[in-house]
Amino acid sequence: MSNAWDNDKLIRVDMTNLEVTTEDYPEDWKLLGGRSLSARIMLEECDPGCEPLGPENVLVLAPGTMSGTSAPTSGRISVGCKSPLTNGIKEANAGGEPGQDLMKLGYRAIIVKGRPADRDRRWGLEVTADGVRLLEADEYKGMWNYASCKKLLANYPKTASAITIGPAGEMLMKGASVGCTDKAKDRRPARHAARGGVGAVMGSKCLKWVVIDPGKAPMRKPLDTKAFATYMKAFSKDYLTGGRHDVFKYGTSAAVPVANMLNTFPYKNRTEGQNPEFEKLDGARIVESFETRGGEMHNCMTGCIVKCSNVVHDADGNYLTSALEFETLTLLGSCCAINDWEEVGALDRLCDELGLDTIETGAAIAVLMDAGGMEWGDAEGAKNLLSKGLTGGDKDAELVANGALAVGLAKNHARIPIAKGQAMPAWDPRPLKAAGITYCSSAMGADHTAGLVVDPEISGEAAAVASQEIQVINALCDSSGFCMFLGPTIDEHRHFYSIYFGEDIANEMIADIGWQCMVDEWEFNDKAGFTTEDDDMAACLREEGIGPDHSLKFDIPPEIIALAKVRQPATEKFYHTSPAG
């Protein structure tokens, strides 16, 4: 019996010679996908010492292993490269349809190398059932993401999806993101692989977009379709009725009150951990608006059962943005003292249009405000900075688009909350020590998706073990294509993989996909010149406190942080017991 993966391919794009080839997918990589596949390709094919925005860098677009199957909420895609923001390896992850569409066609990754001689030109990559080809795309140069996708997808059937960059990526801004269109009904470029400047790397290749049309290609078939369907239904029922789904019923924006209570709702560039006007940013306000304005909770990709994405309308009932997440409300909102969810929604839309990471952009604006370059809470100023300043040559706008560190250095401002050059996400490391250990020890730098532990009671060695455990789970999720909000355990991953591939795969082997992914990433960074001194937190977060009497500081010593990078006995046990992620 032929397996769905027998004829899988890799797409190789040589932008120097403007050539596209395909090749058979290596059998040894059968279990790899998404982040683990990206890490392996980067380690084997990219010089860690390369200039991130030079032709030697490698851009990898890799769907998860389960993408394209009927497994629930499994269609995410990883974008990997050497980051221009951190100068280390980077993986940014997005939902939407492109990951599923690539896998339906049997393409496990797109690997882009080189750079055209004429850097003023723009190119697009077309992937269909008929093959893969590069197309001239000069007419899309400088276009904002929504207009670009509307124009592009008008030329293709409703089955097509797109991966795009906005002007920020074309301008090689270090905070630039890569956008993916959501489900076929909408096809809006609202799902972003945002962190680390991956959009700037795509821009450095002069690649404006990738369009994928699977046509009538079916879902990928497991070896035992009946057993796969039975387990999928049981898993979905348990998720929807067992309490896990309740956490994300109204999306991540619902976390605002809890985060504020825990002193991890940063205010005014993290000078405080609580916002006195946090209720104005509470996601409950968004949900309340559905009744009068329209909008809804929806799934960003076909087959998603989490449905954590909110579709936000403006006061006139017109679509504004999706999704307005907790991280965006925190960084573009509270951290800048912009205490109005509607203003943050407008800023979120601008970031999606221009192709900018909302976390990095919000943090950068907050540093600019803290340094006296803007007034706290100046929403109009922030909107003008993005909408007019970036493409209009405004120096502060370019600084913001290059990230928090760029702003801080240019303004000679000491309070720059970063790790490995990347802005801190909403979840503050001072009350959440284990999260802070993740930010320091992960090859990704300050990235909550690398492994978030929301437990203010945990510290010391236990925090290092907890950080390592969740880092393994998240690396596995990013590799499988499952959304981390689905929260599949190692054992649940094992069941899906075993039934799909028709072989008995042990928990240890599944867990090792996540662990080896992290090892590959650390090795890349070591070869890029990173040392243990880079596994640390910004001085302002060690020295400046928040919370009661400003007593909460990140006080984890380097020797404890280092434990997260060495496989711990407690974590070995975790592989066998496989608790919920």
The CATH number covering residue 335 comes to 1.10.569.10
pLDDT in tens, 21-70: 999 999 999 999 999 999 999 999 999 999 999 999 999 999 999 999 99
The whole-number pLDDT of residue 81 equals 98
- Whether the CB-CB separation of 207 and 135 falls below 8 Å is answered with no
Token look-up 């929604």 returns 345
Same domain, 317 and 200: no
Q: Which residue segment(s) compose the domain that 516 sits in?
A: 429-581
| pLDDT surpassing 90 at residue 516 | yes
Helix (H), strand (E) at residue 398? helix 395-401
Question: Residue 232: inside a domain, yes or no?
Answer: no
| pLDDT surpassing 50 at residue 579 | no
Domains identified in the chain, total number: 3
Domain C-terminal end among 394, 416, 438:
416
The whole-number pLDDT of residue 213 equals 98
For 418-556, list the strands marked E by DSSP.
418-419, 422-423
Domain C-terminal end among 389, 416, 443:
416
The whole-number pLDDT of residue 71 equals 96
Partners of residue 112 on adjacent β-strands: 13, 59
Same domain, 54 and 192: yes
More confident residue, 298 or 208: 208
| pLDDT surpassing 60 at residue 578 | no
Distances (CA, A) of 562 to 334, 441, 468, 568: 32, 7, 11, 11
pLDDT in tens, 529-558: 999 999 999 999 999 999 999 999 999 999
The whole-number pLDDT of residue 461 equals 96
Alpha carbons within 13 angstroms on the beta-carbon side of residue 202 total 34
- Whether the CB-CB separation of 83 and 108 falls below 8 Å is answered with no
More confident residue, 495 or 4: 495
Same domain, 343 and 486: no
Q: pLDDT grade, residue 569 (50/70/90)? A: confident
Average pLDDT, the chain: 96
Same domain, 407 and 459: no
pLDDT in tens, 3-16: 777 899 999 999 99
- Whether the CB-CB separation of 38 and 59 falls below 8 Å is answered with no
Q: pLDDT grade, residue 334 (50/70/90)? A: very high
Domain C-terminal end among 194, 213, 232:
213
Q: Which residues of 11-36 are buried (b: 16+ CB within 10 A; e: fewer)?
A: bbbebeeeebeeeebeeebbbbbbbb
pLDDT in tens, 222-251: 999 999 999 999 999 999 998 888 888 889
Mean pLDDT of 197-223: 97
Question: Residue 231: inside a domain, yes or no?
Answer: no
More confident residue, 262 or 2: 262
pLDDT in tens, 266-282: 999 999 999 999 999 99
DSSP state of 221: P
* CA–CA gap between residue 20 and residue 138 (Å, rounded): 19
Mean pLDDT of 558-577: 83
Same domain, 477 and 580: yes
Phi, psi at 542, each rounded to 5°: -85, -30
Burial class of 43 by CB neighbour count within 10 A (0 to 12, 13 to 18, 19+): middle
Same domain, 187 and 336: no
Maximum distance among all Cα pairs of the chain, rounded to whole angstroms: 67
CATH number at residue 112: 3.60.9.10
Alpha carbons within 13 angstroms on the beta-carbon side of residue 70 total 18
| pLDDT surpassing 80 at residue 125 | yes
pLDDT in tens, 421-447: 999 999 999 999 999 999 999 999 999
Q: pLDDT grade, residue 577 (50/70/90)? A: low
Same domain, 395 and 435: no
The whole-number pLDDT of residue 1 equals 45
Pairing of strands 123-128, 207-213: parallel
Same domain, 178 and 320: no
